Structure 1
């Protein structure tokens, strides 16, 4: 409430100072080559209310109602009417001052106040200046509001993006665990001696999934390490029917990616891959060149004519790629000669300090 009163008081003070300055402006020009101070002060004081009325009518009525709403024809028409009205009032003022202050003695009339055109131009200059300042202020407020609105929109979009990412990450948990627990269940039914080893490897993966997935970025090297652990789990399940070729560059620990971004591709290869000539073959290659990640994976695949859906894991991965690396990634897949190929390229991978 106090702030509102302060703003109103400040606005009144600004207007008061403006019209005091305009009054001195009139006095200065009408005093040229004349020392009839009484007439000049009265004429300037009577011209001021007319100028104020015309100015406020222009600023608070014509400009908002017609100019800002792009009704230019009406704005021009009413502005013309306003000039005509102002001219008429100035003529009445000139004759009134000549009659009441000078008793029609035109020789004592200051030369500048005799010139109707000059007086009209002064009034128009004041109206034009105040109108221009008003338009500048309106444009500034509009730009400020647009910028504030744009910031709110960007903030809302960011929140929605974070919520969607969080949702997609959470979907990975049950999907990944479901597939891995099925493997453990199968070995437990057989009372396999490898069951404890599988559980131990799974615990490492669970630690990665449960505690690293909420981070916006994780080390690429750590993601590759857990891919290897996942492959070790699948080797136990497939036994002698699995052949895996895994090639990877030495990866800088400072390079980061979104967590659980590559593992779904590996999981998909095992889930949808088929045994060809008695073996499920999988080839994985990870290259990192000047902060460009090139990830390629291929698996043997029998149903070449069938479109490969990819399941929840890959669908979520594609959405996360779009949210995290929009415009900086390419993802392609194809089938050829009983092989299914996927290739992911991400450019401009960043370090944590960047």
Structure 2
């Protein structure tokens, strides 16, 4: 419960403040329209403060659940079926609560003698529910649109930084690839494995330097091909002594993923992992369906002195995933004294 409040208190407070302001404006409008005495009677007379507090609390909870727990997640996933049944169930529960509050808690009455009152109540509740739903959808769409604009602006900002960094630190790609081509030609006959490693390195660097648009996304199979090249190059580097278990289950290929996200995590495993233990292999799993991309990487930690690292690659992966997918993804890191794992889930 504490974690829930910590993660959501700003959203709850925002809705509470806005709903309180709206309720006070509505109350003052009714006072001006029909008089203070009648309005106070409608709001419960002596119990006005209790009823007003109950209304604020109920409205805050209703709008929070509708906007942040039902509508926004469904709109982001484009799951219209889920949105429909969750909204219907929510309003059924809300109507039952309103019914109990109106006729058994706030102002108890004998229902058999007040059929007209009940019919009026049901009609007014239906109209109110429709209004609440429309307001919630409008607010949710507005928030999603604003978040998308912020993400796009941040992505463009990050792209500009990357381009500036590339200008500052880059070696002329033509010089680099010409040099690699020269080394490949010279070693092809005498050292075929070294030549193959040079060729793989050239292809990986070409892939990394290619312009993939403002979002920096690539076809899934392109990223998979680079993952396999990185694995093959490192096997050559360590004389095929690495214990690696790679499994992929790709049921849907028409997916775009952020460039080098999976490759970066695999490179980290080669840099910091002990990959020579046959009992604890580097485990790489990729499963893709029409609705989800799931990537799992687990490795045993290398003992002794660690290679220096600023964690830039991992931080970059986190930030890009967050900017591109927001609540539609999860990126989990688990580690103990012996083992380390990364898990990425992207809901399409």
TM-score by length of 1: 0.45
Structure with higher Rg: it is 1
